[in-house]
Amino acid sequence: MEEVLARLEELGIKYELEEHEAVFTIEAIISLGLNKKGMIPVNLFLRDEKGKRHFLVIHDGEKHTDLKALRGQIGSSRLSFGSDERLMRHLGLTRGAVSPFGLINNTAHDVEVVIDGSIRGREVLGFHPNVNTATVWLGWEDFMKFIEACGNPVRFVEC
């Protein structure tokens, strides 16, 4: 978490940190009332059929993501969830803490960032700072500033 906060400070990004009990699902986030401050997108770590391409999909948690339709939009073979080992190797994260902030650990810049267009421009977004016992709140522009600073390829889709 400290590395994420230091990077946000370095980039001049304004944020609010909220610490809380560990949460693993959107349902748990809602039960704690964390979603009242802003939108908490769902973050999925996916891989293609051969495991050569990896994706961090950031989408509206109130929508179901159709992986078959998504693969057509990103030009991928069949998509599946990346294993715990792949998640650790590529983003330095564990299950339950998947977050775009994990991109700071992806020095190879080989994880493709896929953002659901429906979250574009949201006033306040919340993401785990690479641990699921806290949420970092920041605005859309600052979120994109962080993503762009990471240097990973980014594309917008309709989930």
Report pLDDT for 30. 81
Q: Domains, the chain, ranges and CATH?
A: 2-157 (3.90.960.10)
Cα distances from 106 to residues 46, 67, 73, 111, 132, in angstroms, run 15, 23, 23, 7, 19
What pLDDT digit, counting tens, does each position of 7-51 carry? 999 999 999 999 999 988 778 888 888 888 899 999 999 999 999
As a whole number of Å, the end-to-end CA separation of the chain is 29
